[in-house]
Amino acid sequence: MAEAKKTVGDIFSDFHMENNLKNAIVSKINLFKKSNRLEIDLLSLEYIKLDNLVEFESYLKDRFMIEEIETVIKYDDNVVIPQIQDEWQSVIKYISHKYPFSEVLLHNSKVKLEENRLSVILSVNGADFLTLRGFDNVLQNTFYNILGKNYKIKFIEELVEEEINKIEQKCKMTEKYEIEKAISEMGQQDNEEDNDEIKEDMQNISVDADSGEDDVGEIIEIEEKTPLILGRSANIKENVVKISDISIDSGKVAIEGEIINIDTRELKSGKFLVIFDVYDGSSTITCKSFIEADKVKNILARLQEAKQIKICGTAQFDPFAKELGIIANIIVEMPAKKKQERQDLAKEKRVELHMHTQMSQMDGMTSATELIKRAMKWGWKSIAITDHRSCTSFPRSV
């Protein structure tokens, strides 16, 4: 006698949501412990609303402490799948549940379907951002997994002035909130910390022996240079993490690396926004700090001099740059780390057939000259430079 197939309700008996998803048959479950990822395949005789799928995946995350869940739904041939135009708002909710940053960019968007080509019409700037980060593939996989539809995705911008004004207003409110938050966090300090950090002013007192009177000279304030560049305390309690491991849900983090770029902007409030990129060997991330006008000159000088820094701040999606960044509240100068120069010690040298130079916009940072010098140093006989939409590096390569 064949074993009866188990449903979601049979396996997850404490999933108390009342919807038809509980009747779906579980055909496969794979748990990848190393990456903390769960794959679950369902077979359903009824269409499952995406709102219910959000509830189910949220339950799995909370119940089993899973970071990433991929659900694949197969429907019986008789099940009627709603048109994508009718389900688009539910799709946005489902996608935002997995990728929170997409909610801002997909807000008030529409879709247009022509055969198997699906155009996602955005009401704000963001098409390049989504495409460069492969979000078209994310949507394509999502539609195939939950709707059984194979669409080719394209992002189109049709900017609505009213919507742009709303986004700008939201950005201004976000900026104001972050400034107030940063100032508040930098200003917080326990009385014990106050007592530890307060030092007596150094005074230069000269005594006139002939007159017998104390001549109290000018008070000289001696500013001691400490590793602390910004913040109230150089004691960062958070463990240092790799930049490549930071996500939009990481919250408060600490990173350590070298500064590769610094910029500054004066805000209407009179304060300055200092923007700097930090590289730690695994990746690069943009950090921002809100600095008072009387301190910005000194802090910029310290940042430019620092060979290595350690920062503590909050990781979050930046609505201005449309990417993940860190609002830095504490910056500490660290001793420079000795860099180990990479070498190619292989007996049989490789031929790299896919290399981009700085002529590949937003993809390469190294010049053709430097690539060729490195190849020669490593003993490579040849390389292939494959810049996209450009052959400007060709004269330098011959």
pLDDT tens sequence across 81-98: 888 888 899 998 998 888
Number of domains in the chain: 3
**Do 328 and 356 belong to one domain?**
no
For residue 243, the enclosing domain spans 228-334
Sorting pLDDT into bands at 50, 70 and 90, what band is 393?
A: low
**Do 233 and 324 belong to one domain?**
yes
Higher pLDDT, 366 or 286: 286
Query: Mean of the pLDDT values across residues 340-364?
Result: 84
Residue % of the chain over a pLDDT of 90? 28
**Do 256 and 326 belong to one domain?**
yes
What distance in Å separates the CA atoms of residue 50 and residue 186, rounded to the nearest whole number?
A: 42
- H or E, element range at 237: none
Going along the chain, which residue ranges are E strands?
25-32, 37-44, 68-75, 110-114, 117-122, 152-157, 206-208, 213-215, 228-230, 251-266, 272-279, 284-291, 308-318, 323-334, 352-355, 383-385
218 within domain boundaries: no
DSSP 127-163: HHHHHHTTHHHHHHHHHHHHH----EEEEEE---HHH
126 dihedral zone (left: phi>0; alpha: psi -120 to 50; beta): left
**Do 362 and 283 belong to one domain?**
no
Residue 74 pLDDT greater than 90, yes or no = yes
267 within domain boundaries: yes
DSSP code for 356 = -
Q: What is the pLDDT of residue 172?
A: 64
Q: What is the pLDDT of residue 181?
A: 61
Query: Last residue of a domain, which of 306, 334, 362?
Result: 334
Strand 68-75, strand 37-44: pairing: parallel
What distance in Å separates the CA atoms of residue 271 and residue 86, rounded to the nearest whole number?
A: 47
On whether the CB atoms of residues 293 and 333 are closer than 8 A, the answer is no
**Do 358 and 327 belong to one domain?**
no
285 within domain boundaries: yes
Contact partners, residue 326, CB within 8 Å, separation at least 6: 246, 253, 255, 285, 286, 287, 288, 311, 313, 314, 315, 316
7 within domain boundaries: yes
The total number of residues written for the chain in this structure = 398
pLDDT tens sequence across 188-228: 544 444 444 433 333 333 333 344 444 444 444 444 568 89
Going along 23-135, which residue ranges are E strands?
25-32, 37-44, 68-75, 110-114, 117-122
Q: What is the pLDDT of residue 285?
A: 93
Q: What is the pLDDT of residue 356?
A: 87
Q: What is the pLDDT of residue 340?
A: 73
**Do 379 and 300 belong to one domain?**
no
Structure tokens at 213: 């009177």
Q: What is the pLDDT of residue 361?
A: 72
179 within domain boundaries: no
pLDDT tens sequence across 133-189: 788 888 999 999 998 889 999 999 887 666 556 666 666 666 666 666 665 655 554
Structure tokens at 79: 């099940």
Query: Last residue of a domain, which of 80, 104, 134?
Result: 80
**Do 316 and 371 belong to one domain?**
no
pLDDT tens sequence across 287-313: 999 999 999 999 999 999 998 999 999
211 within domain boundaries: no
First to last CA, the chain: 73
Q: What is the pLDDT of residue 366?
A: 85
Q: What is the pLDDT of residue 288?
A: 94
Strand order in the sheet with 117-122: 110-114, 117-122, 152-157
Higher pLDDT, 361 or 167: 361
Strand 228-230, strand 323-334: pairing: antiparallel
For the chain, helix (H) and strand (E) counts, in that order, are 11, 16
Listed residue (376, 370, 371, 378) closest to 348, CA to CA? 378
On whether the CB atoms of residues 253 and 240 are closer than 8 A, the answer is no
**Do 327 and 381 belong to one domain?**
no
Looking at residue 329, which CATH number applies to its domain? 2.40.50.140
290 within domain boundaries: yes
pLDDT tens sequence across 336-345: 877 777 888 8
Residue 107 pLDDT greater than 80, yes or no = yes
Using CA atoms, how far residue 107 sits from 124, 167, 323, in Å, is 8, 10, 17
